Structure 1
Amino acid sequence: MTRIAAAAAHFGRDVEHGLGRISKIIEDARAAGAGLLVLPDAAIGGYLADLRHPDPYALPPAFTADDPIIGRVAAMAGDLVVCVGYCEDDGDDRYNAAICLSGDGVHGRHRKVHLPAAEATAYRAGDRFAAFDTPAGRLGMLIDYDKTFPESARALAVDGAQIVACLSAWPTSYTNAAAKLSQDRQSRLFDLYDCARAAENQIVVVSANQTGNAGGMRFLGQAKVVGPAGNILARTWGKAGLAVAELDVPAEIAAARRVLSHLDELRPETYR
């Protein structure tokens, strides 16, 4: 059995304050007996202040793949597998990135592939989806908008991922604001994508998201763990906190695929 935790929390530009919050969430996840913790996108250094018109002179701080900041998070993680988002500095390019690590080192990396139009002015797009092995099982990672596209999670599932970690800084709707968070279009889509990606691939989806406000954005929270039947096993709703679920991941996936195994029944030669 594995305990899996998804975090909903707010992270801003103050890196040291953010690291303190990461440390506290890691300790809370460890106290809950978790073996895997997924933190939101941009937990190190915060997200864009304005998603519609990013200011090129006010972007989040960027860190190289081997920056000491990454080592500090790995030391906090210890025997816990942690997925965390940050802005990656790669010379002339910046990426909205995620890293999966523990005290033993880095297990996997991901650069956000699907960039909304305005975000493309701040980041370069990644170019691949790849699963990797960790002490918590074989994982893959998605960032924000990546999960809107079925092919993203499908590529990871085909590559053997049994767990997909979705790290988000996902706000409420700009164009169709609702009086209540539960009625917000983006709130509905955020949950829909989490459950659909799990059910269509018969995998576990661990979805973390930011909370609070930044610039003109209000983040949804709604962290959750979703089982391979698309069933929500634990969630935070719109508040900060941890969604923790305990499950036997291989057994749950085997049960979901016992009669209908979606990956075995794919017919890619017919898809355009």
Structure 2
Amino acid sequence: MRLASVAAHFGRDIDRSLEKMAGIVGDARASGVELLVFPDATLGGYLSDLRHPDAHALPPALAEDSFEVGRVIAMAQEMVVCFGYTEEVVADGDVLHYNAALCVNGDGVLGRHRKVHQPAGEALAYCAGETFAAFDTPVGRMGMLIDYDKTFPEAARSLALDGAHVIACLSAWPASVTDRASRLPQDRQSRLFDLYDSARAAENQIVWVSSNQTGVMGGLRFLGQAKVVGPGGDVLARTWSKGALAVAEVDVEVEVARSRRILHHLEELTPSAYVGSLRSSPSEEDA
């Protein structure tokens, strides 16, 4: 199976983003790609300031059943395509916005995810998601995470325990906003981005498909560095800071089974030993 991850810039102009997506989907289809993962915020772009988001310059929000999402479903056809957008939900008269991702093909929506972990001031712009759930697709059982989610090992582990053999992590991951390096490869966030990609794949013995935005949005400079990582943490294909497609041919089921043949991390877990360490702080009774 051919898996591909996108490094590209997507801004506020949704029509332009849809045209760009169609071109990338066409190129990927011509290369025999079966799973294509776009970055976080593919439709509408990401925030321009992580610490103090401007309420008047937020990404445009779309409902899951919007015309724009329908266009992505139509262009996907037989291909499985993951992409990010700002989801708008009306609940009990309130309008809620989520940093969200959809996995689709020509038949419709296969899976969805709302970003759970929110860095810096993102909570000022979005509500937080609450769950991690795997789902079945024509390319196998998979799950999705959105950028900062991958910082937390429990997020990817939850999807692996739910049967995901492929995890797509869609990112709008910038260089450090507090301690910028002169060159992106030396940036602290650049190193962390690569480290998390390989670690999450190896920890869970799954195939990891990591996309990311490129270019600049407001005060944020995005890293790129899209990649496909094997179950042993080995990078099978990658891009650098510029827009490109990372494509790898992987027999997912064979590679996952091979990596778990002797050491099977999920079966060898000892949850009773970790429970206390997962609490955010001691309870009053423990104090």
Calculate the TM-score normalised by the size of structure 1.
Answer: 0.99
Cross-structure match for 2:249: 246
1:146 and 2:149 equivalent?
Answer: yes
Aligned residues of 2:50 and 2:121 also touching (Cα < 8 A): yes
Residue type of the partner of 1:224? K
1:22 and 2:21 equivalent?
Answer: yes
Return 5+ residue gaps in structure 2 as ranges: 277-287
When the two chains are superposed, the root-mean-square deviation of aligned CA atoms in Å is 0.6
Alpha-carbon separation, structure 2, partners of 1:33 and 1:118: 40
Cross-structure match for 1:134: 137
Alignment length (residue pairs): 271
Residue type of the partner of 1:207? S
CA offset at residue 52 of structure 1?
Answer: 1.5
Larger Rg: 2
5 Å matches for 1:78-227?
78-91=77-90, 92-227=95-230
Alpha-carbon separation, structure 2, partners of 1:239 and 1:10: 9
Alpha-carbon separation, structure 2, partners of 1:207 and 1:220: 12
SS at the partner of 1:42?
A: coil
Alpha-carbon separation, structure 2, partners of 1:99 and 1:57: 25
Cross-structure match for 1:233: 236
Residue type of the partner of 2:218? G
Cross-structure match for 1:9: 8
CA offset at residue 90 of structure 1?
Answer: 0.7
Dislocated runs of 4+, deviation >6 Å:
none
Cross-structure match for 1:268: 271
Alpha-carbon separation, structure 2, partners of 1:28 and 1:203: 26
Alpha-carbon separation, structure 2, partners of 1:77 and 1:136: 14
SS at the partner of 1:154?
A: helix
Per-residue CA distance 1:139-191 (angstroms, 9 max, x = gap): 10000100000000000000000000000000000111111111000000000
CA offset at residue 65 of structure 1?
Answer: 1.4
Cross-structure match for 1:62: 61
Alpha-carbon separation, structure 2, partners of 1:93 and 1:104: 27
Alpha-carbon separation, structure 1, partners of 2:197 and 2:153: 11
Alpha-carbon separation, structure 1, partners of 2:242 and 2:227: 12
Aligned residues of 2:80 and 2:105 also touching (Cα < 8 A): yes
Cross-structure match for 1:53: 52
Alpha-carbon separation, structure 2, partners of 1:134 and 1:225: 18
Aligned residues of 2:40 and 2:146 also touching (Cα < 8 A): yes
Alpha-carbon separation, structure 2, partners of 1:25 and 1:50: 27
CA offset at residue 117 of structure 1?
Answer: 2.9
SS at the partner of 1:51?
A: coil
Aligned residues of 2:50 and 2:120 also touching (Cα < 8 A): no
Per-residue CA distance 1:88-123 (angstroms, 9 max, x = gap): 001221000000000011100000000013000000
SS at the partner of 2:120?
A: coil
Cross-structure match for 1:36: 35
CA offset at residue 237 of structure 1?
Answer: 1.4
Per-residue CA distance 1:10-57 (angstroms, 9 max, x = gap): 000001000001101111111111100000000001111111110112
Aligned residues of 2:80 and 2:138 also touching (Cα < 8 A): yes
Seq. identity, %: 66
CA offset at residue 58 of structure 1?
Answer: 1.2
Per-residue CA distance 1:222-245 (angstroms, 9 max, x = gap): 000000000000001111110000
Alpha-carbon separation, structure 2, partners of 1:196 and 1:186: 15
Aligned residues of 2:132 and 2:155 also touching (Cα < 8 A): yes
Calculate the TM-score normalised by the size of structure 2.
Answer: 0.94
